[in-house]
């Protein structure tokens, strides 16, 4: 299995209240430039506590969690197919905690479900429509996307677990 779905009791309202006045246009790095969404990048300890409560399968050697991303997809927003990391390429960061590490595990927690469209998809044909509080955990090298939102606004909390590159 290339992914795992769990259920979490998440205080989504508190997370969204925290993000309410901090939104910025989402950007990408690397080859993938196909994204339309707003984000808030955070290192709030109480939000990290949510992420730390999730059990990570597969036995990856993980050392830290990158800054978290709260994502807002309005109507017609999306994030086309991409990978979050390959498990080999080191992060070039001025932050010594992340520098030289690589993304190994990705996590997306849905903060609401009062929207249409916005399915979470793994290439080529796995489509998930998670409910509020559902956690999707997968190796960062798996090709995935968020399909366009057709009605309403989709909110999620995203985390990337990192560790030393594989050789």
Residue 103 structural domain? 4-163
Percent of the chain exceeding pLDDT 90 equals: 77
Q: What is the pTM of this model?
A: 0.92
Model pLDDT, residue 32: 53
- DSSP class per residue in 62-126: --EEPPEEEEEE-TT-EEEEE-S--SSSPP--SSTTTTT-EEEEEEEEE----SEE--EEETTTE
Model pLDDT, residue 26: 86
Question: Would the pLDDT of 27 be above 80?
Answer: no
Q: Please compute the mean of the pLDDT values over residues 58-80 and round it to a whole number.
A: 95
**For the chain, what is the domain count?**
1
Say which CATH number the domain at 74 has.
Answer: 2.60.120.620
Q: Please compute the mean of the pLDDT values over residues 74-84 and round it to a whole number.
A: 95
Model pLDDT, residue 33: 58
């Amino acid at each position: 299995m290339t992914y795992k779905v769990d259920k979490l009791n998440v205080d989504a309202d508190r997370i969204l209240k925290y993000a309410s006045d901090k939104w910025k246009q989402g950007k990408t790095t690397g080859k993938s430039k196909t994204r339309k969404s707003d984000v808030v990048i955070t290192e709030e300890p109480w939000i990290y506590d949510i992420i730390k409560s999730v059990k990570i399968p597969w036995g990856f050697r993980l050392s830290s969690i990158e800054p978290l991303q709260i994502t807002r997809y309005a109507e017609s927003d999306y994030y086309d197919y991409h990978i979050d990391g390959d498990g080999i390429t080191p992060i070039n960061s001025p932050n010594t905690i992340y520098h030289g590490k690589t993304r190994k595990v990705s996590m997306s927690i849905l903060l609401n479900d009062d929207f249409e469209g916005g399915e979470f998809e793994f290439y080529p044909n796995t489509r998930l429509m998670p409910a509020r509080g559902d956690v999707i955990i997968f190796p960062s090298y798996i090709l995935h996307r968020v399909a366009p939102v057709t009605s309403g606004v989709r909110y999620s909390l995203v985390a990337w677990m990192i560790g030393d590159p594989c050789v």
